[in-house]
Amino acid sequence: MFQVPTKTQYAIRALVHLVQVKTASVASIAETERIPFKYLEAIFSQLKSAGLLSADRGRSGGYRLAREPELILMSDVVKATEGDIRPVECVDDASICTVAEGCLPRRFWLGLKRTVDAYLASVTLAEIAEPLSPRNRIEPSPQLNEISIAAKKEHHS
């Protein structure tokens, strides 16, 4: 359950890459991140439509972040690749449920939606792109903010 589509995983990996290199072509990112080229092209098209990426065409063109990674929330990314979080249709439209009149599970789904939304909106692209500290290469701390504070600036190979 809650399997995240590869599309979104690819999107995040590619965005992290762009944080580091500032600007790059789809082809180069696809190769270094081992993502199918044409698929990534389509994904970037979506991310651009969502206002997360800017592009330059032509010989020395490429993609770059449309704004600073501190201002890109993971909820923005997920929304761009997959649309709104909607555990069940009725969180948007209670009239769908056949027993909507007094439907009990609805509260539960709304709570789930809020929980996931809150988490996704609490993590920025910049935090994900922070280098890993030696301590948490295996077992990461659940709190990304603490990681980013504790993380050193050194690079790992």
- List residues binding DNA (CB under 7 A): 3, 5-7, 10, 25-27, 36-39, 41-42, 44-45, 48, 55-63, 82
Q: Which two tokens stand for residue 33?
A: 């991140």
95-154 residues in contact with its own copies (CB under 8 A) are: 98-99, 102, 104-116, 118-120, 122-123, 128-132, 136-138, 140-145, 147-148, 151-152
Alpha carbon 76 to chain centroid, angstroms: 7
SS3 per-residue string spanning 37-60: HHHHHHHHHHHHHCCCEEEECCCC
Among 4-12, 23-31, 42-50, 60-68, the segment contacting its own copies (CB under 8 A): 4-12
> Coil, strand, or helix at residue 29?
helix
Nearer to ligand FES, 71 or 100 (CB): 100
Pattern 53-92, ligand FES, x by CB under 6 A: -----------------------------------x-x--
> Coil, strand, or helix at residue 24?
strand
**Which value, to the nearest 10 degrees, does the dihedral of the CA atoms of residues 118, 3, 112, 127 take?**
-10
Are the C-beta atoms of residues 121 and 74 closer than 8 Å to each other?
yes
Among positions 36, 105, 111, 134, the unique one binding ligand FES when judged by CB under 6 A: 105
CA–CA dist 114, 90 (Å, integer): 14
Nearer to DNA, 55 or 116 (CB): 55
Give, as one character, the DSSP assignment of residue 124: B
Q: Which residues bind its own copies (CB under 8 A)?
A: 1-5, 8-9, 12-13, 16, 33-34, 74, 78, 82-88, 94, 98-99, 102, 104-116, 118-120, 122-123, 128-132, 136-138, 140-145, 147-148, 151-152, 155-157
